[in-house]
Amino acid sequence: MIMNATEILKNIRALFNEAPIVAPVQPVEPATVEFSDYNLKDGTVVSIDKLEIGGAVMAAGVPALDGDYIMADDSTITVVGGMITEIKEIEVVQPVELSVPDPRIAQLFEENKKIKESFMQLLSVVESMVKLPAAEPLEAKKTIFTEAQKNRADKFKELQNTIQNLKK
């Protein structure tokens, strides 16, 4: 069956007339939430109602922006939609004390310490040498040949040339 526009509007009106009547909602007093101030690592102050997942975070009177906030104690809270979604506590690493049970190891440590000291002294000497002004380059030593030495050198060159020519 095909309905025209007038029939469709009558059906819609009937649906609204049949809808149940809902009683008016009574206003509810909002629960009071107490916030505490917390310092961030950068000195900014934020207000948090409970420092746990689901806690509300306010910054300057408005919900905090999404992101990670580093607390003064180096722990980190992640905020999404003004609510804490993750808390990362800082891990405290206890220093490990090294004991040297073997005297040979103690001796190696002592030798290593002496080598480091010697190396540091060497470095300071090199640094002081680098700071010294450079000297003028020495003039190349001139060789003075006697006439007899020159003649022998010339004869030697002639012999070399002759040998080269014979090889050809």
Q: Report residue 153 as tokens.
A: 């050198």
Q: How many C-alpha atoms does 121 have within 13 Å on its Cβ side?
A: 6
Distance of CA 67 to the CA centre of its chain: 18
Q: Report residue 62 as tokens.
A: 């408005």
Cβ neighbors of 45 (< 8 A, separation 6 or more) are 37, 38, 39
In this predicted model, what pLDDT tens digit does every residue of 57-76 receive, in sequence order?
998 889 999 999 999 888 99
The DSSP symbol for 145 reads -
Please state, in angstroms and rounded to a whole number, the distance separating the CA atoms of residues 118 and 112: 10
In this predicted model, what pLDDT tens digit does every residue of 37-61 receive, in sequence order?
999 989 889 999 998 999 999 988 8
Question: Domain locations in the chain?
Answer: 36-88, 101-130
pLDDT-based confidence at residue 26 (cuts at 50, 70, 90) = confident
Q: Which of 41-55, 81-95, 121-135 has the lowest mean pLDDT?
A: 121-135
Please state, in angstroms and rounded to a whole number, the distance separating the CA atoms of residues 33 and 28: 15
Which pLDDT score, from 0 to 100, does residue 37 have? Answer: 92
pLDDT-based confidence at residue 21 (cuts at 50, 70, 90) = low
